[in-house]
């Protein structure tokens, strides 16, 4: 059976390190890390994510600011708030929770965030730095950055000679994940909905990352024996066995099948999921170190 990669425990290690770095920063007399989270509208899933981000920020000892704006907030009002946060020296990270209401241009909003405060790593400057291998100064999107830490726990930092297949090409997960694997010397293939014979391609992967958003699409016989399988997917499906109207979370991989073949695998929940918020904290503390003129810590 595969080793189960415990994302919850790795995320706790990251948060502990962030707390220690925050305390060190205060001891040096520098401004403590400040994270501003902006949410527009009442999407219940977004409200849960934002509450959890603000809670973890406080737990880390950060100055935590939350702007909860009504759904009818105009684009102009939102851009003004971002401009003010860009200019606020007590804020080192700005996160705008997506999706935004349809009347607001999300791309324009993201590109308005100062690149040095873009802890989500979505600004073109940070995307470009990751694409050109400037990892020392880039902010890398939190989910792929967290997935990479999990891969390194199993495989080490240098992945030379390994074949990686990333299923999914989104700007938030698939593409940055592929760039991180490339920077670590993997031979990388990105698969998507137009890829031919995905099962055969997946079977070539020493590292298989699933970021599709389709419940249990990747079967056990798509997995190469001994492979490291990172399941980014979070899908809620009906679970009548738990009672009427009940549901449960599954990944993009059939866990029970893949765990019999893989060398190591992330569970859903408890794998990649907890890493996202932890890496947001890591990016924010890194931003505060840089603002204080100190060497940026690595994770
Ligand atoms: N914190 C976390 O753990 C976290 C964070 C972010 C996302 N997620 C989860 O990760 C999953 C992916 O998220 P995302 O934002 O990257 O999704 P997305 O933007 O919808 O992208 C999905 C990708 O999967 C590809 N795809 C769809 N059907 C496919 C098929 N049958 N065969 C091969 N590829 C297929 C799509 O290909 P095309 O480009 O050709 O359409 C697309 O590139 C979702 O389940 C999401 O909930 C988790």
Q: Residues 53, 117, 129, 224: which is the catalytic one?
A: 53
Per-residue confidence (pLDDT) for residue 46, from 0 to 100: 92
The string of pLDDT tens digits covering residues 231-251 is 999 999 999 999 999 999 999
Q: Which atom of ligand 1 is nearest to the CA of 233?
A: 45
Per-residue confidence (pLDDT) for residue 12, from 0 to 100: 98
Per-residue confidence (pLDDT) for residue 90, from 0 to 100: 97
The string of pLDDT tens digits covering residues 120-139 is 999 999 999 999 999 999 99
Mean pLDDT calculated for residue range 182-197: 98
Distance CA 116, CA 138 (A): 9
Ligand 1 in reach of 34 Cβ (< 6 A): no
| pTM tops 0.95, yes or no | yes
Is 152 annotated as catalytic? Answer: no
Per-residue confidence (pLDDT) for residue 170, from 0 to 100: 98
Per-residue confidence (pLDDT) for residue 141, from 0 to 100: 98
Fold of domain 29-114: Rossmann fold (3.40.50)
The string of pLDDT tens digits covering residues 246-291 is 999 999 999 999 999 999 999 999 999 999 999 999 999 999 999 9
Given a contact cutoff of 8 angstroms between Cβ atoms, the answer to whether 11 and 274 are in contact is yes
C-alpha 134 – ligand 1 centre gap (Å): 25
Distance CA 289, CA 291 (A): 5
Ligand 1 in reach of 121 Cβ (< 6 A): no
Ligand 1 in reach of 141 Cβ (< 6 A): no
Fold of domain 142-274: Rossmann fold (3.40.50)
Mean pLDDT calculated for residue range 66-84: 97
Ligand 1 atom 5: residue of nearest CA: 143
C-alpha 241 – ligand 1 centre gap (Å): 27
Distances (CA, A) of 179 to 24, 49, 119: 32, 26, 17
Residue ranges per structural domain of the chain:
29-114, 142-274
Per-residue confidence (pLDDT) for residue 278, from 0 to 100: 98
Per-residue confidence (pLDDT) for residue 77, from 0 to 100: 98
C-alpha 262 – ligand 1 centre gap (Å): 21
Per-residue confidence (pLDDT) for residue 120, from 0 to 100: 98
Per-residue confidence (pLDDT) for residue 99, from 0 to 100: 94
Ligand 1 in reach of 280 Cβ (< 6 A): no
Query: What is the overall mean pLDDT for the chain?
Result: 97
Q: Which atom of ligand 1 is nearest to the CA of 167?
A: 34
Neighbours of 229 (CB within 10 A): 30
Per-residue confidence (pLDDT) for residue 182, from 0 to 100: 97
Across 32-52, b (16+ Cβ under 10 Å) vs e yields bbbbbbbbbbebeebeebbee
C-alpha 213 – ligand 1 centre gap (Å): 4
Per-residue confidence (pLDDT) for residue 147, from 0 to 100: 98
Ligand 1 atom 42: residue of nearest CA: 168
């Amino acid at each position: 059976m595969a080793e189960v990669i415990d994302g919850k425990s790795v995320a706790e290690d990251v948060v502990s390190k962030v707390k220690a770095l925050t305390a060190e920063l205060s001891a040096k007399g520098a401004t403590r890390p400040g994270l501003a989270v902006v949410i527009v509208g009442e999407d219940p899933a977004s409200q849960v994510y934002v509450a959890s981000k603000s809670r973890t920020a406080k737990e880390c000892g950060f100055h935590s600011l939350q702007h909860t704006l009504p759904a009818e907030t105009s684009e102009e009002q939102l851009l003004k708030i971002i401009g003010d946060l860009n200019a606020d020296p007590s804020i080192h990270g700005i996160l705008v929770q997506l999706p935004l209401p349809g009347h607001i241009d999300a791309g324009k909003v993201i590109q308005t965030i100062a690149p040095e405060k873009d802890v989500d790593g979505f600004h073109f400057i940070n995307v470009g730095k990751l694409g050109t291998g400037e990892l020392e100064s880039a902010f890398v999107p939190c989910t792929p950055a967290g997935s990479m830490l999990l891969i390194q726990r199993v495989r080490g930092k240098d992945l030379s000679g390994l074949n990686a297949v990333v299923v999914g090409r989104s700007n938030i997960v698939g593409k940055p994940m592929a760039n991180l694997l490339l920077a670590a010397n993997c031979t990388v293939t990105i698969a998507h909905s137009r890829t031919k014979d995905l099962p055969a391609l997946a079977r070539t992967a020493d590292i298989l990352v699933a970021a599709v958003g389709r419940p249990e699409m990747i079967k056990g016989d798509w997995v190469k024996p001994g492979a490291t399988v990172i399941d980014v997917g979070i899908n809620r499906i009906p679970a009548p066995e738990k009672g009427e109207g009940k549901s449960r979370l599954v990944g993009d991989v059939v866990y029970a099948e893949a765990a019999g073949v893989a060398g190591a695998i992330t569970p859903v929940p408890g794998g990649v999921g907890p890493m996202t918020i932890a890496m947001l904290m890591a990016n924010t503390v890194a931003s505060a170190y840089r603002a204080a003129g100190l060497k940026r810590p690595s994770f």
